[in-house]
Chains A and B, each alone.
Chain A
Amino acid sequence: DAKTTQPNSMESNEEEPVHLPCNHSTISGTDYIHWYRQLPSQGPEYVIHGLTSNVNNRMASLAIAEDRKSSTLILHRATLRDAAVYYCILRGVNTNDMRFGAGTRLTVKP
């Protein structure tokens, strides 16, 4: 999988939007962008994924740059329960494994 770059940590206030960036300048045309998060003392959980178009689901939105070299995970209203490490991962269309980086540790302040 191609490499991704994320900030080590970010802070947000409760009930405010959060934009978590991810750079993936070496992404190939068939790589999907996946986001997982890991709450304290739990295993990672899927958040969202996309290829070219922006995506929305009940948890978050994913905004993908036109050149696909970067993407942003958007939490529309952060809650204390959203405090976690967020991982941005590229997955090739023909691979079934994922390689996690260091992720971004999100702290949500009340």
Chain B
Amino acid sequence: DAGVIQSPRHEVTEMGQEVTLRCKPISGHNSLFWYRQTMMRGLELLIYFNNNVPIDDSGMPEDRFSAKMPNASFSTLKIQPSEPRDSAVYFCASSVQGAGSLAKNIQYFGAGTRLSVL
């Protein structure tokens, strides 16, 4: 299994440009999570999906951020327009939401996308 695949690994862009981050979850996983990590704020949950449906987007910083999951094997996180304070490492994770105890569900993380907005 290739694990969770994120692209690109690094993105450098200028303020005001649109940025799209991509994630391919592990095949068979039905939950997908987007996190952002900065030195100041640590690892923050932005949004998560169950069965392609957004469940909790309370962590999305503002309207400039949007996330979609058009099918079970692909998700995008878009920032439009981007700002320097969006510079961070963005992680995608996936898990299986089982019929039993949800607390057992293990999240598998991708390698992250390091975003720099100049």
Write the residues of chain A forming the contact surface with B, with a CB cutoff of 8 angstroms. 30-32, 34, 36, 38, 42-46, 49, 51, 87, 91-103
Instruction: Name 21 interchain pairs, CB-CB below 8 A, sorted by A.
Output: A30-B103, A32-B103, A43-B91, A43-B93, A43-B109, A44-B93, A44-B109, A45-B108, A49-B103, A51-B103, A87-B43, A93-B103, A96-B31, A96-B97, A96-B102, A97-B33, A97-B45, A100-B42, A100-B44, A100-B45, A101-B42
Interface size class of B (residues with CB under 8 A): 20 to 34
CA distance A32 to B112 in the complex (A): 26
* Cα–Cα distance between A43 and B111 once the two chains are bound (Å): 5
Q: Nearest B residue to A102 by beta-carbon distance?
A: B42
Nearest-neighbor residue (CB-CB) of B105 within chain A: A96
A38 to chain B, nearest CB (A): 8
Which residue of chain A lies nearest to B49 when distances are taken between CB atoms in the complex? A96
Which 3 interchain pairs have the tightest Cβ spacing?
Answer: A43-B109, A32-B103, A100-B43
B interface SS class: strand
Given contacts A96-B50, A96-B95, A100-B42, contact A43 B103 (CB under 8 A): no
Question: Chain A binding site: helix, strand, loop or mixed by DSSP?
Answer: loop
CB-based contact A92/B42 at 8 Å? no
B107 CB-CB contact with A under 8 Å? yes
Select B109's contact among A45, A95, A97, beta carbons within 8 Å: A45
Provided the pairs A97-B45, A100-B42 are in contact, do residues A92 and B111 lie with their beta carbons within 8 angstroms?
Answer: no
Whether A42 contacts B111 in the complex (CB less than 8 A), given A97-B45, A101-B42, A102-B42, comes out as yes
